[in-house]
Amino acid sequence: MPGGAERILRRRIGSVKNTKKITRAMELIAATRVARAQQRARAARPYSEQLTGVIEDLAAAGADVDHPLLRQAEKVERVAFVICAGDRGLAGGYNSGVIRAAEAEIQALRAAGGDYKIIAVGRKVNDYFTYRGFAIDTTFSGFTDNPSYENAREIARRVRDLFDSGEVDQVELIFTEFISMGTQTPAVRRFLPLESTETIAKSGGGDAEAVAGYSFEPSPEGVLEDLLPRYVEARLFAALLDAAASEHANRQRAMKAATENAEDLIVKLSREMNRARQESITTEIMEIVSGAESLGADQQDARTDLLIDHLNPDHLIAEHVHP
Amino acid sequence: MSFAVEFVSPESLLYSGESTQVVARTRGGGEIAFLTGHEPFIGSLLASEVRVTEVSGDIASFAVRSGFVSVTGTSVTVLSDEATLVDDIDVAVAKADLDAALEALKANEDDKFAAQDKQWAELKLRLASSD
């Protein structure tokens, strides 16, 4: 049917153009959100640096307590995994990268006879592991693209509950590290128990100009006791911010690729459509030409009485019109 | 003589300025005032009010949920996961928080997090009303 293929292609081009508009808009939105997430990560840095600075001062003062958060289990059998990915898809390999890393860790633990607990951060994590029949301890979602400190605190509470009560011996944090605009990689970090204060102090980040001779109130141990939970929250918050920046960067890249694909597709479909149109025009011309030819051929035929001018009895009409 | 004061929270730098006196309340130590040249000091803060006397003589008052105060001879830094200017306290939000915390405590009396939330909401309401 002439024109049918062309109409279908025209409709497809229209829908690809619409998709392109959407992916383009998502790309631009993601780009501004990466910038904002990075800005927030920068804004959070002074706090964690100061916190680490205080730990340095405490380490210098020789404070080391038997704090539950520092307690090393003799045998690690039960491990909680805090898995941070996104609530939404359309972000390239962002979610699957984290989930794959997490699943590998969990399988390795199970193979070694250990028991796992999953703390899912982001709906995609929950969906994946629920679907696969893993037991989920707690799910936190609805904030992965723009986490607040309050979110970090809520997660930290659950993690500390598990750890303090001895339900788990160790906590692993799995998230995507934002290394640069172009590079984000899934990372697995030991989260709890914390390293000793000396190790934290040595890993730096704080203002190195530790002043000796601090006096502490209530006591070095008392300060440390209050400080370590804050340190846990701050680390979790930093991970959430990194994850958010990574999610947006991945989404921006994915949407950029989708926009480019849509452009390619539009070009390809336009060519196909032009060809289809040309073909239908050619077919029509062919039909007219062959029709005319067959008319010409018919004139030399014996059955000339069937031709129009023979069937149009002019002389009869004229008789009626002009009596 | 003045010194630099900073309120640092994870989300932002809340306040930065010059001050002649800072009053805070530390755990176990009661209220403590810092003047220029105070000995190096690190204290753990209770949910309380921190008052900063600015160079102009005005007093800026903050509600601090918990945190630390770190003092060197030339600066005072207040580290707090949650702090707000008393003038900025949203009474409606604080009331809602208090109700939520009381609800949680009703369900589980030993919920130490809810107890902290309750304390913090009550502090905000008290400071906002005395303002």
What CATH code is assigned to B3-86?
Answer: 2.60.15.10
Q: Lowest-pLDDT range, A57-71, A220-234, B57-71?
A: A57-71
Residues in chain B: 131
Instruction: Find, among A198, A170, A206, the residue nearest to A64 by Cα.
Output: A198
Output the six-digit token pair for A269: 């479909």
Residue A71 has φ and ψ, to the nearest 5°, of -65, 120
Q: How far is B7 from chain A (nearest CA, A)?
A: 9
* ∠ CA A186-A188-A194, rounded to 5°: 145
CB within 8 Å: A227 and B26: no
B82's enclosing H/E stretch is strand B75-85
Catalytic residue selected from A34, A79, A80, A84: A84
Partners of residue A50 in chain B, C-beta under 8 Å: 8, 70, 77, 79
Q: Which residue has the higher pLDDT, A63 or A284?
A: A284
Residue A208's pLDDT is what? 45
Least confident of A18-32, A55-69, A93-107, B97-111: A55-69
Token readout for A143 is 């904030």
The span from the CA of A200 to the CA of A180, in Å, is: 24
* Band (A117; pLDDT cuts 50, 70, 90): very high
B8 residue type, one letter: V
Q: What's the full length of chain A, in residues?
A: 323
Q: Specify the CATH architecture of the domain A25-258.
A: 3-Layer(aba) Sandwich (3.40)
pTM: 0.81
Does residue B104 sit in helix, strand or coil? helix
pLDDT of residue A1: 46
**DSSP labels, A232-247:** HHHHHHHHHHHHHHHH
Q: Which residues of A touch B (CB under 8 A)?
A: 40, 43-44, 46-48, 50-51, 53-54, 57-58, 148-149, 152-153, 157, 211-218, 222-223, 226-227, 230, 233-234, 237
pLDDT category of residue B131 using cuts at 50, 70 and 90: low
CB < 8 Å to B41, chain A: 214-217
Per-residue pLDDT, A305: 54
Q: Cα–Cα distance between B126 and A87 in angstroms, integer? A: 38
Q: Compute φ and ψ for A155, nearest 5 degrees.
A: -65, -45
On average, the pLDDT of chain A sits at: 85
Burial class from Cβ neighbours inside 10 Å (0-12, 13-18, 19+) for residue B77 reads buried
Say how many C-beta atoms besides its own lie within 10 A of residue A43's C-beta: 16
The percent helix, strand, coil of chain A (3-state, each to 5) is: 65, 10, 25
Minimum-distance CB partner of A215 among B41, B67, B113: B41
Is residue A122 annotated as a catalytic residue, yes or no? no
Q: Where are the domains of chain A?
A: 25-258
